[in-house]
Amino acid sequence: MSTQRNWAGNIRYSARAYHRPSSVDELRALVAGSDRIRAVGSGHSFNRLGDTTGDLVTLAGLPATAHLDEQRRTVDVPAATRYGDLAAWLHERGYALANLASLPHISVAGAVATGTHGSGVTVGNLATAVAGLELVTGTGDLRTVDRSSPDFPGLVVSLGALGIVTRLTLDVLPTFDIRQYVRLDLPRAALDEALGSAYSVSVFTDWRSTRGTQVWRKQLADQPPPPADWLGTTAADRPWHPVPGMPTANCTEQLGVAGPWHERLPHFRLGFTPSSGDELQSEYHLPRAVAADALAALDEVAHLIAPVSQTSELRTIAADQLWLSPQYDRDTLAVHFTWIADPDRVLPVVAEVERALAPFAPRPHWGKVFTLAPDRIAATYPRWTDFAALLHHHDPTGKFHTNDLTNLFPR
């Protein structure tokens, strides 16, 4: 990411100035003296929710020291830390995070603020590991909160709207090994069983048929491999990439070779280009209970999706109690779209996807492309008005607001 554009290159930032403070005190002074300010992480957002016409600040220049508390089984990390770097550091010390997203390149604070996730029917999104936060408020004060704070569930997935998070405390567990198997040609009828069959499972489809083109099955290393006839699929005999035609060297190791959790749970290797690198993305979070009906509705517009889709991924995430989490109070099926990098062709299809999913209360991923009206999004979140009140309390002058945030939460 440059200071001018996001990672995908589809957003040119509107900021009047870019800042890289080297200390928290410098950041506090910057925040206190600005009328509009936002933090930017690794730039893996595909929309303008974090764009500002004021000051844009990266936290990559702050001290990068992490602190492991083995007694409490937590790690305290700087906000700009990339998950891939943190994961390797933890593994060296015998610890792990419960899950990782498909890209290890993303920053911890940015992923948490947008409810970014991995996959697994028993595992929550990345924000559910947060045990505490340190943030700079609009007055430049430094505030620390943890799970004992009554407003903590509203502060974690916050869209960057409540202050600039400087450090996060995350739960850790003992390190573990994973084996990754790719299976091909999954029948739709077996989808739910497949998604619940291992620690983390992703099903890819091209929308040209109702079958899953690839199943990425990430299982604990001490579990037996899937049988040869598993759910009517065939075993891959070579490495695969989720996007057809992309180099498989970019992907984490497959074919059942055991390895550390952080080298298998992501789809992509830290030192390589993730996904296709030239794309737009959308994702919608639906109650897992309506998965079959929702996918049937998408089948009706599959002829529109397929020509502008590079791949599509289906994943599950466990329910949580974080107010703006897309998994709030419901076990979730996430339907992800990796589009071609052509907004003029993609956006009309995004609108058709949203129309098809409307009966199923879709919640869009906060960091991806969507066109849903604010009132339709708000209707799917039971704690929406509570977050709006928290937002007004923490940022009465709108210092951390952006145009898109104001559309969601009018001042």
Q: How confident is the model at residue 2 (pLDDT cuts 50, 70, 90)?
A: low
Q: Residue 397 has what DSSP assignment?
A: T
DSSP 40-97: E-S----SSTT--SSEEEE-TTS----EEETTTTEEEEETT-BHHHHHHHHHHTTEE-
pLDDT at 6: 86
The predicted-structure confidence for 259-288, as pLDDT tens digits, reads as follows 999 999 999 999 887 877 789 999 999 999
Angle at the Cα of 350 from the Cα atoms of 346 and 351, rounded to 5 degrees:
120
According to CATH, the topology of domain 67-174 is 3.30.465
Q: Which candidate, 120, 91, 80, 85, places its Cα nearest to that of 103?
A: 85
pLDDT one-digit tens code per residue, 52-92? 999 999 999 999 999 999 999 999 999 999 999 999 999 99
Q: How far apart are CA 230 and CA 383, in angstroms?
A: 41
Burial of 47 (0-12, 13-18, 19+ CB in 10 A): buried
CB 5 within 8 A of CB 18: no
What is the structure's pLDDT at 315?
Answer: 98
* The token pair that represents 11 in the structure block: 């957003």
Question: Would you give the distance in Å from CA 41 to the centre of its chain?
Answer: 13
- Kindly provide the b/e burial profile for residues 314-337, where b requires at least 16 CB atoms within 10 angstroms of the residue's own CB: bbbbbbbebbbbbbbebbbbbbbb
Q: What is the pLDDT of residue 411?
A: 83
For the domain 177-374, what is the CATH code? 3.30.70.2520
Q: Report the pLDDT averaged over residues 207-217.
A: 94
Q: What angle do CA 340, 342, 343 make, to 5 degrees?
A: 120
Q: What is the pLDDT of residues 146-203, one digit of tens each?
A: 999 999 999 999 999 999 999 999 999 999 999 999 999 999 999 999 999 999 999 9
Q: Is 263 helix (H, G, I), strand (E, B) or coil?
A: helix
Q: How many residues does the chain have?
A: 411
Q: What integer is the mean pLDDT of 372-398?
A: 96
Q: Which are the contacts of 275, defined by CB distance < 8 A and separation ≥ 6? A: 102, 103, 242, 243, 246, 268, 281, 338
Residues 350-363 have a mean pLDDT of 98
Is 227:180 a contact under the CB 8 Å cutoff? no
pLDDT at residue 146 in the model: 97
Give the DSSP per-residue string, 315-380.
EEE--B--TT-TTBTS-EEEEEEEE-S-HHHHHHHHHHHHHHHGGG--EE-TTS-----HHHHHTT
- Give this prediction's pTM: 0.96
Query: Roughly how many angstroms between the first and final C-alpha of the chain, as a whole number?
Result: 31
| Residues in a beta bridge with 385 | none
Domain map (residue ranges) of the chain: 67-174, 177-374
Distance of CA 172 to the CA centre of its chain: 19
The answer to whether 51 touches 402, Cβ cutoff 8 Å, is yes
Give the pLDDT score at 1.
45
The mean-pLDDT minimum among 45-49, 119-123, 129-133 falls in 45-49
Pick from 176, 77, 86, 66: nearest CA to 130: 77
